Amino acid sequence: MASPKLFAPLKLAELELANRIVISPMCQYSADVHGNMTDWHTIHLGNLALSGAGLLIVEASSVAPEGRITPGDVGLYSDDNEKAMARMLESVRGHSPMPVGIQLGHAGRKASCQAPWEGGTQLSLEQGGWQTVAPSEVAYQDDQRPPKAMSLDDIEALKDGFVTSAKRADRLGFDLIELHAAHGYLLHEFLSPLSNQRDDQYGGSLENRMRIVLEIFDAVREVFPQQKPVGIRISGSDWVEGGWDLAQSVELAKALDARGCSFIDCSGGGLDPRQALDVGPSYQVPFARRIKQEVAMPVIAVGLITEPEQAEGIVFSGEADAVALARGMLFDPRWPWHAAAKLGASVHAPKQYLRSQPHTLKGLFDV
Ligand SMILES: Cc1cc2nc3c(=O)[nH]c(=O)nc-3n(C[C@H](O)[C@H](O)[C@H](O)COP(=O)(O)O)c2cc1C
C-alpha cells in the first residue's frame, strides 16, 4: 500500500508536524473566574497529547477579560493566567513530544454568556456578565444587550492585548499561534458587513474591514519568533445574504499570504443566527479547496471530518494540506492511532502504551 499522505510530515514555518492531523481548538469553559486554567485542562490536554496527532491547538484563549465567551473561558491576559498555563504545559510536555499551539482570540459581542451546558444565553450584569464590545452597536440577537462600539483607542488596546498575549505564549514555549478570526467573534465581527457598520478606516470597504485583522497579524508576527508559525482561523462564509463570503475570504487569504502568514484554517459561520447551511461530512472543505488555489501557505480543512479514508482523501487530493478534528477527537481520543491502523501508517505512542496494539498491527507505533 502506498504510504498515506495523512501521515506524511508537514512544515508550518519551521515547525515540522509528524503528520497532518490537527487537534482543533476546543473551549472547555472550565477555567476559574479569572481565566486561569485548572486541573481539567491538564487532564484534557494531556489525554489529547497522547493521541499521536501532528499538532494540538489549545482552546481559544482570550487576550482581555471582557473577551471571554463565558466566565469559565481561559485567558492569557494576566501573570496568573500565564502561570496556570505553565503548569499545564509542564505536565503535558513531560509526557508528549507533540507540538502545542494556542489560539488567541476575543469574543466581542458574543462574550458574557453562560457555559453551553447551562444554556449558553447572555449573562445579565446582575448575573455576573459584563459590557461587551464590538465594531458597532449591533447585538448578535435582538433580545441581547447591545455591545459598545469600539473607539480607536479601544482598537489600539486590542492590538496591544494580542501582542502582549503573543509574548506570553512565546515565553510559555508554545510552538504556534492561531489567531481566531472565525465563528462570529470579534475579528470576524470586523470582517463582516453585517456586524461592522463603522464609517471610519475600520469599516465600509473590504480593505477597511480587513484592516484590523491584518494589523493584528503583523503585530503578532513581529513579536513571535520567525521560525514559529503564526496562522489564522477564518469563517469562509456567514451563510447569510449580504454577509462575509468566500470571495472576500479569498481576498483576505491572499493578503495574509503576502504578509507571510504560516497557515490558514478554514472554518465557517457563527456570525449571525440566520445562517443557512447544510451540515454534513466535509461541509466546510470547499472553503479550503478554493482558498488553496489562491495561496502558497498551507491550508487546513475542518468540519465533520470523522473517517480516516475521508481525511486521507482530503489531503491526498490536495483540497487541503492538513485536517483539523474537534468532536471526533473527544469521541475517540486515539483517533490518529486508529486512522494509522486503518491506512497502514505508523504513529507515535507513549512508551507506557507500547504493548497495547493488537497482534495484527505490529509496527503501528514508532519506536
Ligand atoms: C467543545 C467544542 C469547543 C470548541 N471551541 C472552539 C474554540 O475554542 N475555537 C475554535 O476556533 N473552534 C472551537 N470549536 C469548533 C471546532 O474547533 C471545530 O471547528 C468544529 O467543531 C468542527 O469540527 P468537528 O466537526 O471536527 O467537530 C469548538 C468545538 C467544540 C465541539
Nearest CA to ligand 1 atom 22: 303
Identify the CA nearest to 345 among candidates 54, 101, 46: 54
Give the nearest ligand 1 atom to 59 CA. Answer: 8
Give the Cα separation of 333 and 53 in Å (integer): 10
Give the nearest ligand 1 atom to 183 CA. Answer: 11
Q: Give me the pLDDT at residue 367, please.
A: 77
Give the Cα separation of 211 and 201 in Å (integer): 8
Which of the residues in the chain have pLDDT under 70? 1
Distance 354 CA to ligand 1 centre (A): 30
Distance 141 CA to ligand 1 centre (A): 21
Nearest CA to ligand 1 atom 4: 26
Give the Cα separation of 77 and 65 in Å (integer): 7
Assess whether the C-beta atom of 191 lies below 6 angstroms from ligand 1: no
Give the Cα separation of 20 and 73 in Å (integer): 28
- For ligand 1, mutation pick of 21, 23, 27, 113 (most atoms within 8 Å of CB): 27
Nearest CA to ligand 1 atom 31: 327
Q: What is the dihedral of CA 59, 301, 49, 51, to 10 degrees?
A: 140
Q: Give me the pLDDT at residue 1, please.
A: 54
Alpha helices (H) in 299-349, listed in sequence order:
308-316, 327-331, 335-343
- Residues 25, 59: contact at Cβ < 8 Å? yes
Distance 327 CA to ligand 1 centre (A): 7
Give the Cα separation of 180 and 232 in Å (integer): 6
Nearest CA to ligand 1 atom 23: 303
Residues taking part in catalysis: 185
- Residues 235, 268: contact at Cβ < 8 Å? yes
Task: Map out the domains of the chain with their CATH numbers.
Answer: 5-366 (3.20.20.70)
Assess whether the C-beta atom of 182 lies below 6 angstroms from ligand 1: yes
